[in-house]
Amino acid sequence: MSVASVASVCRQMATLTLRTKTLPLVSSSLVKCPLQHQQVRWHNMYRVDQPRPMGRLSYRFKVHYPEDGQYTVRPLKSTKLAGRHPETGRIIIGTLGGGAKRNYRWIDWFRTGPSDGFFEERVIHVQYDPNRSSRIALVAGGEHLRYILATVNMQAGDLIRTTSHLPRIPVRPKEGDAHPVGALPNSTLVNSIEVVPGDGARFVKAAGTAAVVMRRVKDKVVVQLPSKREIALDPNCMVTVGRLSNLEHGSKHVGSAQRRRWLGRRPASGLWQRKDGYCGRKIRPVPPMITYGPRKEELPMLKFDLPGEGPTKKITPSTDRVS
């Protein structure tokens, strides 16, 4: 059998489960299949139905929050997931697992203050958090304590202010204060950026990072992220002034392979190598600006019943692995 005939057999065998008609395995004329039958999956068949990493879903650990849902500064217990899906238990990221035991400090991402004044808080202390790269600060205001991300020059005893007032003239920013992004002048460094007003901080949370307020476009404020991407936000989105702490995090060497295991990272395959100058470089255009606005109301889902089809078939996982 020639190489061409073997290739034809392989193509037809790959399309057996995807066709609507059955064809003979070996074609007598060794002619390519019609276009409607060339439905070959160019990726691994056994990983088609595996979920992919997505936002707001962690595969490192699962935090056990209080049952009453009330915010607390007490360290919370967490369960290691080791790269597995929290519900199905299937391995999603193979290079996660192990690591030192750590407790979770609940960060308050909602820095919303009064619209007619300031809400002042005192920084109790700045501490290390094993669950994130930047330092965190314990602040107290009134009768409440909470954790926030610490900026570069934040120290114990500092007073920080939070306000939702949007003035006509931009204010003079002070590091650690929280304002609407529309209240800050251009070229201001900010972090912990909201995408939708009142939705909590979403962008710029890593150590040593900061975004820049660039310009105003109609009723939007354009902010440049550390990745050089520009986003247009509502002027009422809350941001924190300043650059996040732990500047030397990105330049610090890991030191040893064992320290990676302490951090919860398993060995990689060793096949990947970083491209060097031999490969040249490619100058890519600046990514387009993304405009964020209020969330659209989700339309009600329409459900159709087929009485003649019987009950729905139960979905069973394609693996018997138990976590």
Query: Which runs of consecutive H residues, i.e. helices, occur in 62-199?
Result: none
Is residue 272 very low, low, confident or very high in pLDDT (cuts 50, 70, 90)?
Answer: confident
Task: Tell me if 104 sits within 8 A of 61, measured CB to CB.
Answer: yes
- pLDDT value, residue 294: 77
What mean pLDDT value characterizes the chain?
81
What does the chain come to in residues?
323
What value, to the nearest 5°, has the Cα angle with vertex 185 and ends 165 and 194?
60
Tokens of 224: 């440049």
The more confidently predicted of residues 80 and 308 is 80
Task: Tell me if 186 sits within 8 A of 175, measured CB to CB.
Answer: no
Tokens of 212: 């820049």
Domain map of the chain by residue range?
3-47, 52-106, 109-249
Report the C-alpha gap between 224 and 62 in whole angstroms: 32
- pLDDT value, residue 309: 60
Question: What is the model's pTM?
Answer: 0.71
DSSP label at residue 252: -
Q: Taking the mean position of all CA atoms in its chain, how far away is CA 132?
A: 13
The more confidently predicted of residues 82 and 8 is 82
**pLDDT over 80 (residue 256):** yes
Q: Is 88 exposed, middle or buried (0-12, 13-18, 19+ CB in 10 A)?
A: middle
Report the C-alpha gap between 45 and 57 in whole angstroms: 25
Main-chain dihedrals φ then ψ at residue 262, nearest 5 degrees: -65, -35
- pLDDT value, residue 55: 52
Task: Tell me if 264 sits within 8 A of 96, measured CB to CB.
Answer: yes
Is residue 92 very low, low, confident or very high in pLDDT (cuts 50, 70, 90)?
Answer: confident
Is residue 317 very low, low, confident or very high in pLDDT (cuts 50, 70, 90)?
Answer: low
- pLDDT value, residue 45: 34
The more confidently predicted of residues 43 and 260 is 260
Among 107, 103, 109, which residue's Cα sits nearest to residue 76? 103
Instruction: Determine the CATH number of domain 109-249.
Output: 2.30.30.30
| Residue with token string 């697992």 | 97
Tokens of 85: 């899906």
Report the C-alpha gap between 142 and 136 in whole angstroms: 20
Task: Identify the weakest region by mean pLDDT among 122-136, 233-247, 264-278.
Answer: 264-278
Report the C-alpha gap between 264 and 281 in whole angstroms: 33
Report the C-alpha gap between 76 and 106 in whole angstroms: 8
- pLDDT value, residue 39: 36
Is residue 2 very low, low, confident or very high in pLDDT (cuts 50, 70, 90)?
Answer: low
Among 63, 95, 74, which residue's Cα sits nearest to residue 145? 74
Report the C-alpha gap between 150 and 208 in whole angstroms: 10
What's the pLDDT tens digit per position in 151-172? 999 999 999 999 999 999 999 9
Radius of gyration of the chain, Cα coordinates, nearest whole angstrom:
27
Among 244, 175, 238, which residue's Cα sits nearest to residue 209? 244
Task: Tell me if 143 sits within 8 A of 126, measured CB to CB.
Answer: no
Query: In the predicted model, what is the mean pLDDT of residues 65-75?
Result: 89
Main-chain dihedrals φ then ψ at residue 166, nearest 5 degrees: -110, 95
Strand pairing category for 230-233 and 290-291: parallel
- pLDDT value, residue 3: 55
- pLDDT value, residue 282: 84
- pLDDT value, residue 21: 41
DSSP label at residue 302: P
Tokens of 303: 């459900």
What value, to the nearest 5°, has the Cα angle with vertex 145 and ends 56 and 174?
80
